[in-house]
C-alpha cells in the first residue's frame, strides 16, 4: 500500500503540476469531460487542442456555466460582442448570448475568435502569446504592446511590453498550462 501511494506521489510530482494532477485524478469528469469536443472544435479551426484546453482551464476551470464579471460566458468566457461577430461571420441566425452556456457553441465561438487572433499574428515566429493577449485584452492593445510595425517581435519582448499585469499573467499561465499538456502528451 505504501509503495502504491509513493508511486502516485511520484507520478503527480513528475507531471509538472502535482496539485492539478491530483485534482484531475479525484475528479476526471470535470477535467476531461470536454476533451473530445475540444479536440473536434480545435482541429476544425486549425488550432492545437491542448492550447484550446489551456484557455478553457484558465478562463473557466471547465465550468460551462461560469458567468464573468464583464458578461463573459461559458467555458472560454466569450463576450457577447465576440459571439455576435462569430455568429455574423458564420451566418448563424437567431443567435442569443445565453447560448454561450452550451459547451459546443461556446467552444465554437471562442475557438473561432482565438484562431482569428492567431491568424492576425501569424507573421510572428511564435504567434501564441500575441494571440492570447489579443484574446484577453483586445487587438488594439496587443498591437500597441507589439510595437513592431510588421517586424517579428520576440515573445519575451512582447510580454515585457504588456503594461497590464493581469494580461501578462493570463498569457504566461496559459502558456505554462499548454506546455504542461504538451509534456503529458495526451489530452
- Residue 47: give its domain's CATH number: 1.10.530.10
Residues 42 and 2 in one domain: no
Which pLDDT value is given to residue 186? Answer: 72
For residues 89 and 103, state if they share a domain.
Answer: yes
Please tell me the distance from the alpha carbon of residue 100 to that of residue 86, in angstroms, as a whole number: 11
For residue 21, the model assigns a pLDDT of 67
Q: Give the count of domains, the chain.
A: 2
Indicate whether 50 and 96 sit together in one domain.
Answer: yes
**7 shares a domain with 20:** yes
Cβ distance 39 to 187 under 8 Å? Answer: yes
Predicted local distance difference test score (pLDDT) of residue 149: 52
Same domain for 4 and 49, yes or no, is no
Residue carrying C-alpha cell 465550468:
63
Looking at the structure, do residues 42 and 21 belong to the same domain, yes or no? no
Closest CA to 45 of 90, 85, 82: 90
- The answer on 55 and 24 residing in a single domain is no
Same domain, yes or no: 45 and 129: yes
Residues 60 and 17 in one domain: no
Task: Give pLDDT, residue 5.
Answer: 61
For the chain, 187 residues long, the average pLDDT of each consecutive 10-residue run is 62 58 70 94 98 96 94 97 96 94 98 98 94 96 80 83 95 93 82
Quick one: pLDDT at residue 16?
A: 54
Q: What is the pLDDT of residue 25?
A: 67
Rounded Cα distance, 60 and 8, in Å: 27
Kindly state the DSSP code that residue 16 receives in the 8-state scheme.
Answer: S
72 and 113 inside one domain? yes
pTM (2 d.p.): 0.86
Cell numbers standing for residue 176: 505554462
Could you tell me if 27 and 39 lie in one domain? no
Domain assignment of residue 18, given as a range = 1-32
The reply to whether 4 and 50 lie within a common domain is no
Amino acid at each position: 500500500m505504501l509503495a502504491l501511494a509513493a508511486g502516485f506521489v511520484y507520478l503527480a510530482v513528475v507531471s509538472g503540476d502535482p496539485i492539478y494532477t491530483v485534482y484531475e485524478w479525484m475528479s476526471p469528469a470535470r477535467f476531461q469531460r470536454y476533451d473530445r469536443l475540444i479536440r473536434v472544435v480545435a482541429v476544425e479551426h486549425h488550432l492545437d487542442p491542448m492550447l484550446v484546453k489551456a484557455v478553457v482551464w484558465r478562463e473557466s476551470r471547465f465550468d460551462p456555466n461560469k458567468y464573468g464579471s464583464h458578461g463573459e460566458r461559458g467555458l472560454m468566457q466569450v463576450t457577447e460582442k465576440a459571439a455576435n461577430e462569430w455568429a455574423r461571420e458564420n451566418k448563424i441566425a437567431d443567435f442569443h448570448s445565453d447560448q454561450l452556456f452550451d459547451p459546443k457553441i461556446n467552444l465554437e465561438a471562442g475557438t473561432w475568435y482565438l484562431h482569428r487572433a492567431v491568424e492576425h499574428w501569424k507573421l510572428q515566429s511564435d504567434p501564441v502569446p500575441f494571440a492570447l493577449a489579443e484574446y484577453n485584452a483586445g487587438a488594439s492593445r496587443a498591437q500597441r504592446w507589439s510595437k513592431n510595425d510588421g517586424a517579428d517581435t520576440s515573445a519575451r519582448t512582447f510580454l515585457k511590453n504588456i503594461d497590464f499585469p493581469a494580461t501578462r499573467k493570463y498569457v504566461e499561465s496559459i502558456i505554462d498550462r499548454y506546455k504542461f499538456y504538451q509534456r503529458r502528451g495526451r489530452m
